[in-house]
Each structure stands twice: as structure tokens, then as C-alpha cells.
A and B are shown apart, each in its own frame.
Chain A
Amino acid sequence: MGSISFDNVGKVFGAGAGALVALEGITLTVADKEFVAIVGPSGCGKTTCLRMVAGFERPSSGNISVDGKLIVAPGPDRAVVFQQFALFPWKTVRGNIEMGLRNKNMSLAQRMPLVDAALKLMNLESHANAFPHQLSGGMQQRVAIARAYVLDPAVLLMDEPFGALDAQTRVVMQEELVRLARLNPRTVLFITHSVEEAVYLADRVAIMGRRHGRIKAIVDIKSVRLAEQWDQLERIEDVMEQESFVHLRSSIWKSLREEK
């Protein structure tokens, strides 16, 4: 199970005259196994939404809950994939992936098959004993995704996970994520500023405006994807050439542009 619910959430940074309203009246529900992307310009508060679900920040007003439980602190039921990977450079790939399972007090015999499966899932088997600095950015992010997946979290929180990668690697990782989502569906909250990425990956896209950190609109992608059978297409560029894709992308883009 895993559903996220934002109920009229507001966030204010600082206090008094210097207070900054980052978010206001955010209401959004992510259903179990649903993939929701939030797009918006830099500084719109989209990352703050994710950080509050993770438990790194508290809402100033309103409630956020996962499976009906209010969030009080970070925890392995809400795995985070960070933009800057945030791996432990002194641990090997295996050591990084294993950490969360050791924290759950799993024995070596219990966690070995899980770690091996995660390595296989992300095509990391041959790098199990490498240190992060020996890997490319794309590989490091694979490790971070494996580290999150292996926890078997209720929800997966991805904060611009491909933002630090070069364009080619980024495309490979996007396709990889789609493959993963089909193989092993999860509840995902995905933050990005790339409209293309959001439309390609998500079931629904929430558009955030720059002013007052509100959600302007929520666009349903899943019904279009199913109707137009995007899943039959193997490559991302084939999907992106579909008329239905182009249409969705440009309508979301226009909605964002109106902000400026």
C-alpha cells in the first residue's frame, strides 16, 4: 500500500517581515501505485512538497499523510532519490544498497537475495564492489534508485533525479524508470522542471505556478497513454513524436508560460 495525501498544505519559511510564503493551499492525492509528477519553474516550491512528504520539512499549516498516517520524521517507508545522488562515497555499491536493510535488522542471509535482486534490476551486478566515485553519474543514480527500491517503500520520492545527468544518460534513465514502473509498480511522487519528462513518465502531472506556490492544474496523462497505446512503443523518441504527446506537452508548457 502507499497513498500520499496533501490536505490544504501551506509552508512559510522564516517569520515576521522576512517571512516567505513557499506553498499555499496545496491539496493533492496520489493514489496507491500511481505516478504523479509535479512540474514548475525553479523556486515554485515543488521540491518543498517532496521534502515535506520525506519528513525533512514540516508543513506550516494543513496535513500531509501517507496511508492515512501523519508524517512526523523521515523514514524508510518513504524512500528518497536525490538529485545529487547522496550516496555514501566510503561504501561500495553493495554497501550503499544494503544500508537500509541492515537498519531494519535483517540478517545477511535475509538481505543477500534482496540486494542481489536490486543490483540485477538496475544492471549493477558487475559494479557491486565498486566505490561511487568510480562510477559515472548515471551509474551512481542507478545505485541510488536501487538503494531506494530495495527498501520496499510505501512511496518513492524522486527529486529531479535526472537533473544532474547529461542528455543522453537522462534519456536512458527515463526509459529505465518506465521499464521499472511496469515491472514493479510503485507509488511515485516525481519532481521535475522538464515538461517532457513529466508527460513521458507520469500518470498525472500537477502544474505549479511561481506565485504563492499553488497547484494551478492537474493533467491526466494515463488515460491518453492507454488510449493511444504509448506502451507499445519502445523508445522515448517514438512516444515523443506522437500527436497526443505533443499536444499534452504543449498545453502544459503554455500553462507554465502564462506564469511569466
Chain B
Amino acid sequence: MGFYLRMRRAMVALSTLSALVVAWFVLTTVTGLISSGRFPDPFATWAAMRQLVSPGYAGSTLVVHVVHSLTLVLGGFMLASTLGVSLGLLMGWSRKAEAFINPIFLLLRPIPPLAWIPLAILWLGLGDAAKIMVIVIAAFVPNVINTSTGVRTIEKTVFEASQMLGTPRWRFVGEVLIPASLPAIFTGLRLSLQAAWTTLVAAELVGALAGIGLVLNVAQQDIYPAMILSAMFVVGVLGWLMTLLLGFVERRALAWRTA
């Protein structure tokens, strides 16, 4: 995409968002069509945000909450991706492995990740370990599905060329199987990151010592809508930033497709 086209898109995005803020302002502060008891106005939300940043809310400042949440998400996401991509490669490559593992997978897949929370808390308590477990379960599935599909759709001649060149097994995995599946692997990673983030916030709602989900939970108990809105805004921005970062990594890793 050219520079000007990118600038134009950014301008359009900016004006849409500004219009939204103006409409919000008009509906709440100016006309009072929506009462501030139900939905906070922009100023109240801004004040709550400042309070969250410093002195803090729900026991910690924003930075502490965010670092806590991001650590769990990234830890869980990386663990889930390592396991999920490996299993996906195995299932895509070996019909036998697929035949053995797929039935278990089909049984467990319809269970929403959040339904694992009670079991995770029973096993691992209210701490971080339980949350990581739930994140891993949620983030693992899209990796397995997309990676195994990616492997299965590799053209047969790519395998044949690799065999013809006498490629040893380990090099085949690292230099043929994984790069050939990489576009599909990244699709899985993107979905997986999304799943990890939404699951974390939900898991923190159930019980946590710090984290952005805790802020939401405490603000609900305090009947503090402006704080709820601020926390939701933080959740949205962080999710967007993580997706942006992954997109950047993806473009670098798949440069051979477009370079």
C-alpha cells in the first residue's frame, strides 16, 4: 500500500472515531438524552481513566494491571502456540496421528474454553496458573486446526521435490514443512491470540489479584460505569496493539510471498 493511500485510510479512521466521540458527547453531556447514571459522559470517563493511571484502582495502578494481564496472555499464547503448532504439524503430516488424536479433539472442541474455569480453579486455585491453563486451552485449538489444514494443503510436488533432493528428515521439517505451512500457521496464530485475550479478561472477571479483568469486576461491584468504560477501552486498545504486532511479525516472516 502506498503512503498516500495509507494516509487517507488513517484520516478516514480518525474522522469516524472523532464522529463517534462527538455523538457520545452530544447524547450525554449536551442533550442529556442518555442519563449519566446509565452511561457515563466523556468527561467522567476521562476522569476515571486518570484515576486508573494514578493513583490506581482495584489495588494497583493501570501499568501494574496491564503488565499482569499481558504477561499471562503472552505466556499462555506462546505455550499454546508451541503445543498447538507442533500437534498440528504432526496431525497434518501423519494420517495415523490424525486418526488417533482427532476423536479426542472433536469431543473437546465444542466445550467453550470458559467452561474450563471451574475445573481450573478447583485444580490450580484462583492464582495465575488456573488462568494460564484456560488461556492455553482456548488458544491451542485454532493453532491445531489451521496448522494441520495448512500441512494437508501443501502441493504434492513440494514434497516430491524435497525427496528428490535427498532432504534429511530434520531439515525437511524446518525448511520445507514449516515454511510451506507458515501462511496457515499465521492464520491460526492470529485467531489464537484473539482467543487468548478474550479468555483472559473473562477468567480475570471470575477472580484475580490484579489485571484488567479485575478492574472491570471491581468497578461493577462499586457501580462505577465510567471506570468500566475506561477498562473496556484499555482491553480494546491492547487487543488491537497485539494484533498489530503479530501482523508486523507475519509480514516479516512471509516476506518471500510479496517481497
Contacts and interface: CB of A to CB of B under 8 A. Distances in A.
A89 B179 CA distance: 9
Nearest to B160: A56
B158 A76 contact: no
Contact of A54 (B155, B164, B168): B164
B129 interface: no
Contact of A90 (B161, B162, B165, B256): B256
Contacts of A134: 259
Nearest to A92: B256
B158 A86 contact: yes
A82 B157 contact: yes
B160 A86 contact: yes
A151 interface: yes
B259 A100 contact: no
Among A54, A78, A84, A90, the most chain B Cβ lie within 10 Å of the Cβ of A90
A80 B180 contact: no
Contacts of B165: 76, 99-100, 103, 147, 151
Given A82-B157, A103-B171, A131-B259, A90 B164 contact: no
A69 interface: no
A55 B163 CA distance: 9
A104 interface: yes
A104 B157 contact: no
A88 interface: yes
B167 A86 contact: no
Interface residues of B, number: 21
A75 B161 contact: no
A75 B164 contact: yes
A138 to B, nearest CB: 18
Nearest to A153: B164
A231 to B, nearest CB: 31
Interface string B136-168: 000000000000000000010110111111111
Contacts of A104: 166
A89 B157 CA distance: 12
B8 interface: no
Given A89-B256, A151-B165, A74 B160 contact: yes
A86 B182 contact: no
Given A86-B155, A86-B157, A88-B176, A80 B256 contact: no
Among B160, B257, B259, the most chain A Cβ lie within 10 Å of the Cβ of B160
A179 interface: no
Contacts of B259: 131, 134
A133 interface: yes
Interface of B: 155, 157-158, 160-168, 171, 175-176, 179-180, 182, 256-257, 259
27 contacts: A75-B163, A75-B164, A75-B166, A76-B165, A76-B166, A78-B164, A79-B164, A80-B161, A80-B164, A82-B161, A84-B157, A86-B155, A86-B157, A86-B158, A88-B161, A88-B175, A89-B256, A90-B180, A90-B182, A99-B165, A99-B175, A100-B165, A103-B166, A103-B167, A133-B256, A133-B257, A134-B259
